[in-house]
A and B are shown apart, each in its own frame.
Chain A
Amino acid sequence: MPTSTSRLLLLLPTTTYRTEAFVDAASKLGVELVCASERPSALQELAPEALVTLDFRDPVASSETVARFARRRPIDAVVAVDDLTTVVAAAISERLGLKANSLSAARAARDKHTMRRCLASTGVPVPRFRLVKLADDPAALAEGVEYPCVLKPLMLSASRGVIRANDAREFVAAFRRITAILEDAVSAPADEVRQLLVEEFIPGREVALEGLLVGGTLHVLALFDKPDPLDGPFFEETLYVTPSRLPETGQDRIAAVTRDACSALGLTEGPIHAELRINDRGPFVLEVAARSIGGLCARTLRFGTGLSLEELILCHALGRPLESLERERRSAGVMMIPIPRAGRLTAVRGIEEAAAVDAIEEVAITMHPGQAVVPLPEGWQYLGFIFARGETPAAVEEALREAHTRLHFDIE
């Protein structure tokens, strides 16, 4: 049984928003961290027992590096904080004989086409889909597509490069735009970069389910409504509010379908973040990722006596008892502040005014003055995050919208 001196390998891409939350959680739990990133830490040479560089694109080589490290300093658990590290985390866990998702399950959840195939073959409702190659002629492809459709890269996350097309002309334009985005995306392996998923556009409301798998059983931690319509042409995520205002029967169906999806993919351990569309035909799974919610959004979640999501994830990974998986009673929400236009951020005004809105807990601006800002579908960042907590989901949503109107971003 791991003790309070457990050692945990945290896989932290240098682009992640999650570092502070996971490092804090480890500190609170008395867990010794070994932090691995794809680029070296400035202090790696001075602290080689705690800081490691791994090529996240090469799970085999990374596993070998960690296995050598673990001979000197045994690792009790491995945690991936973002999409970029879920596969390598599974590979390392497998190599070290740790309880975790299998490598095949992590791979299936990481690749949107493999996921769609896997889910469709087991009867989990997903949009109709097909795989196309970037080398194909988009005009010829456009003739054989049902509209409206959605084009999306296989490996990018958070709606980057996802575009709706309503006709052949829009299809060709979207195809070319995504091709250019993928040429810039260095994080994905070459084969995946050269392909796209084209799928049916599913009308309806979108929700996100945050869950924790323990021994193959899915525990629903939170169900978030996304009150802003996500109808395209780009799919910028803005508001997440929990608990969901959907009828209980609808929520039960969402949970059931997500359970089926995890089971079909073979996911058994750790956090999952699922995105679904709901309409009168029922829930459709858009994605099940073997990681927790992205950005700083986990700040909306508290469990039991105030445990953070990151503390829950680390406790689970280390096999420690889970105090409570029940979210607090109050409603909570976050706005991921969208980038209105491309340019250079010169100033942010109104932060105090936004923070003064009733129910607003925090306004966190994560981009810095002077930074280039790029909106979707090319962009990969948010301007920041607004957090609210209140008595009802409606009050939380209203507070987030009001706070957002008080913020002003000067972009040149």
Chain B
Amino acid sequence: MSAELKTRVQELIDSMINPAVAGHGGFVELIDVQDNRVYLQMGGGCQGCGAADVTLKSGIERLIKEEIPEIAEVLDTTDHASGANPYYTPGKA
């Protein structure tokens, strides 16, 4: 079951998510699917980006859950502190 889910999530990442985040110099890598939870890592412009949580929860998780309703949650395993080229950088206004 997890293997099939993993394939479907991977297809979604390849066909929709990565082409979109590439516009901000980013990419998303599927690490695993376990117990209906998707584990991802973000890289490039997404790693350390101030908007990474929005991209993940309001974008990626939403899309994956819409397309694959069996998925309960999408979790980010990225080391954002090591991001060297984030698209949006937090700072005072």
Contact = CB atoms under 8 A, between A and B. Distances in A.
Nearest to A366: B90
Nearest to A85: B93
Given A42-B26, A47-B62, A23 B92 contact: no
B4 to A, nearest CB: 23
Interface string B31-70: 0000000000000001010111111011110110000000
A27 B57 contact: yes
Contacts of A27: 57
A181 B77 CA distance: 38
A82 to B, nearest CB: 6
A33 B89 contact: no
A82 B17 CA distance: 29
A17 interface: yes
Query: What does DSSP make chain A's interface, helix, strand, loop or mixed?
Result: loop
Interface residues of B, number: 34
Interface string A74-93: 00000000111000000000
A42 B55 contact: yes
A83 B59 contact: no
Contact-residue bracket for chain A: 35 or more
B83 to A, nearest CB: 6
Contact of B93 (A24, A39, A49, A157): A157
A51 B58 contact: yes
A143 interface: no
A370 interface: yes
- Nearest 7 A/B pairs, CB to CB: A43-B59, A381-B91, A158-B92, A50-B58, A14-B88, A23-B53, A380-B92
Interface of A: 12-17, 19-20, 23-24, 26-27, 33-35, 37, 39, 41-47, 49-51, 82-84, 156-158, 160, 187, 294-295, 364-371, 379-382
